[in-house]
Amino acid sequence: MDTRLQPTAARSASERARALQPLLDEHGAEMDRRRELTPEVVKALVGQDMLRLLLPQSLGGQELHLLEFCKTTEALAWSDASVGWFINQSNVSSATSAAAMPHEAAASVFGDPRDGLAWGARHSKSKAIRVDGGYRLSGTWSFASGGRHTRWLGAHSAVQNPDGTPHMRYGRPDDRSFVFLRKDTKITDDWYVLGLRATGSDSYTVEDLFVPDDRAPARDALEERRESGPIYTIMSTLLYATGFCGVTLGTARRLFETYVELARSRHSRASPNAMVHNNAVHREIGLLEARLSAARAFLHEAAGQAYEAAAAGKLDLDLRLRLRLATTHGMNEATDVAIASYRAAGTLAIMNAGPFERRFRDAMSASQHLQAMLPHVEMVGRHILGADNVIQHV
């Protein structure tokens, strides 16, 4: 039997992800060309239950330990960064939405293992008007990663009253996520980018779309959280960060391993010595291994600490910021390792048919994400010093 299609019960999520690696390698170049996953890959991901990794167990999901989740996105990205990116984005979006929705509504949206969720980033130009029984939503959003393979899309928006004033709830301006069918949107095919091409992260528009109350969760509001598991206590921002860090580490690991294989057999024209006998190459490979392994170990330690603390009801700001530091640091270390591995390959790295070019583009595109930005590190530094700090959604 093909191991990619074996039942999932006896194997961990990361083991199932590793079993998919040969298929992802086989389809990687074609997915990059198509700017979306191939049907064979989508089928295999569903067959390994990869769209319900964080979904509550009450809805048939796996509700994974956070450490296992980041190992899973890493294993997928080792073969294809776009797949890892989609799986992280969809799982966090689905799980955090479901955790704040009424059970019946969440089951109707996420009950099928084929149903993921894609949506773009929040911005200030959308409009959600409070009406009887729900909201009237209008706006355009971008970066709906994996949206070509999900039945559901969503969007984030501040809420207004019909007279244009901010709608207040729980003593603060109401801010919600809205979940709706992809068929109710206008899709703009505008995903022409450097890397992560197979995520198919198109833009989409809705005009005066009615979204009922039970599909408009305030997903990170404590007042509306129905699920109490550790994953949902950690909340969306750090879940995204952890999974995306796993993606960048997996991509960098593959580039680094490709560099090592190259160094074993290639003679660089820039040096009189074969790469395998070059002291500078020895030193660089040792240092890159140390950097990548250290970043991964820090991520795993911080993810494990945050999860266990959340399970015990003791997840405090110090641990949240430690996870924030680990994810941002890890993404930047992974970027540096990817760049060094690419540069070490010389002109071979630029060839479309070579093993570096597509993965390097993916690594550079992932490095541009908000989760990798260094102001996150500055925020942690201010906290360590006890300086004034404005911390939101950590």
| C-alpha dihedral (216, 112, 198, 371), degrees to nearest 10 | 40
Range of the domain at 345: 230-385
Q: In terms of domains, do 46 and 153 share one?
A: no
- pLDDT tens digits, one per residue of 56-76: 999 999 999 999 999 999 999
Query: Both tokens of residue 69?
Result: 């989740």
Per DSSP, the three-state class of 139 is: strand
Give the model's pLDDT for residue 390: 62
Residue pLDDT, tens place only, 1-28: 344 445 455 699 999 999 999 999 999 9
Cβ contact 333:55 at 8 Å: no
Q: What is the CATH number of the domain that holds 303?
A: 1.20.140.10
List alpha helices for 312-349, DSSP H.
317-344
Q: Work out the average pLDDT over 314-324.
A: 97
pLDDT of residue 167: 97
Pick the last residue of a domain from 221, 239, 274: 221
| 130 within domain boundaries | yes
Backbone angles phi, psi at 38, to 5 degrees: -80, 155
What CA–CA distance (Å, rounded) separates 94 from 51?
9
CATH number of the CATH domain containing 185: 2.40.110.10
Output DSSP code: residue 166: B
Q: How confident is the model at residue 86 (pLDDT cuts 50, 70, 90)?
A: very high
| pTM higher than 0.85 | yes
CB distance 14 to 72 below 8 Å: yes
Residue 145 reports pLDDT greater than 80: yes
269 pLDDT higher than 70: no
Spatial separation of the C-alpha atoms in residues 158 and 170, rounded to whole Å: 14
Final residue belonging to a domain, choices 193, 221, 249: 221
Q: Are residues 156 and 270 in the same domain?
A: no
Q: Are residues 7 and 46 in the same domain?
A: yes
Rounded to 5 degrees, what are φ and ψ at 57? Answer: -60, -30
Whether residue 17 contacts residue 3, with contact meaning beta carbons closer than 8 Å, is answered with: no
Q: Let me know if residue 61 belongs to a domain.
A: yes
Say whether pLDDT at 240 is over 90: yes
**Which of these ranges, 58-67, 212-221, 271-280, 340-349, has the smallest mean pLDDT?**
271-280
Q: What is the Cα–Cα distance from 61 to 24, expressed in whole angstroms?
A: 24
Position 5 scores a pLDDT of 47
Residue 173 shares a structural domain with residue 158: yes
Q: What is the pLDDT of residue 333?
A: 98
Domain finish residue from 188, 221, 254: 221
Q: What is the mean pLDDT of the chain?
A: 94
SS3 220: coil
The neighbouring-strand residues paired with 177 are: 156
Is there a single domain that holds both residue 20 and residue 134?
no
What pLDDT was estimated at residue 194? 98
For residues 241 and 380, state if they share a domain.
yes
CA distance 345 to 301: 32
Same domain, 66 and 204: no
Q: Note whether 130 and 88 are same-domain residues.
A: no
Q: Is residue 390 part of a domain?
A: no
What confidence score (pLDDT) does residue 2 get? 42
**Residues 130, 246 share a domain:** no
CA-nearest of 210, 209, 211, 204 to 186 is: 204
Residues 209 and 312 in one domain: no
Q: In the predicted model, what is the mean pLDDT of residues 335-354?
A: 95
Phi-psi region for residue 206, left (φ > 0), alpha (ψ -120 to 50) or beta? Answer: beta
pLDDT digits (tens, 9 = 90+) for 105-122: 999 999 999 999 999 988
pLDDT, residue 1, reads 32
Q: Is residue 391 part of a domain?
A: no
Q: What is the pLDDT of residues 21-53, one digit of tens each?
A: 999 999 999 999 999 999 999 999 999 999 999
Burial of 227-249, coded b for 16+ CB within 10 Å and e otherwise, reads bebbbbbbbbbbbbbbbbbbbbb
pLDDT, position 43? 98
Asked whether residue 235 falls in the same domain as residue 378, the answer is yes
Token pair for 139: 């706006």
Residues 270-283: tens digit of each pLDDT: 666 788 989 999 99
Total structural domains in the chain? 3
- What does 240-254 look like in DSSP terms, one character per residue? HHHHHHHHHHHHHHH
Q: What does DSSP say about strands 134-144 and 202-212: parallel, antiparallel, or unpaired?
A: antiparallel
Is residue 77 a contact partner of residue 250, using CB atoms and an 8 Å limit?
yes
Q: Side-chain half-sphere of 98: how many Cα atoms within 13 Å?
A: 31
Residue 393 within any structural domain of the chain:
no
Structure tokens at 284: 């660089």
DSSP letter string over 38-85? -HHHHHHHHHTTTT-SSS-GGGT-----HHHHHHHHHHHHHH-HHHHH
148 is a domain residue: yes
Report the CATH number that the domain containing residue 8 is assigned in CATH.
1.10.540.10
- If 0-12 CB within 10 Å is exposed, 13-18 middle and 19+ buried, where does residue 34 land? middle
Task: Determine, yes or no, domain membership for 205.
Answer: yes
Do 58 and 128 sit in the same domain of this protein?
Answer: no
Q: Is 199 within the bounds of a domain? A: yes
Radius of gyration of the chain (CA): 22
